[in-house]
Amino acid sequence: MNENILNMVLVDDCNCDFGGVAFNGETVRDFISEMDNVIKTVAELNNALADCGIKTISLEKNF
């Protein structure tokens, strides 16, 4: 996965009543390192983020 994506800081999804980032400044790299399953694509990453109450990433805004 692209280094720009791995270094992105995650944000809580305020529209969600559960989950959220583990700590201030948590990055995509931190998130992936805590996952039990392997995440290889942005689509897989976004699914995992949404399941955990974290805003998904948009490639249009970040690249």
- Which pLDDT tens digit goes with each residue over 2-41? 888 899 999 987 777 788 999 999 999 999 999 887 898 9
Whether the model pTM is above 0.85: no
Q: What is the DSSP letter of 31?
A: H
Name the residue among 37, 63, 40 with its Cα closest to residue 51.
37
Q: Tell me the domain boundaries of the chain.
A: 3-62
Quote the CA–CA distance of 25 and 31 in Å, as a whole number: 11
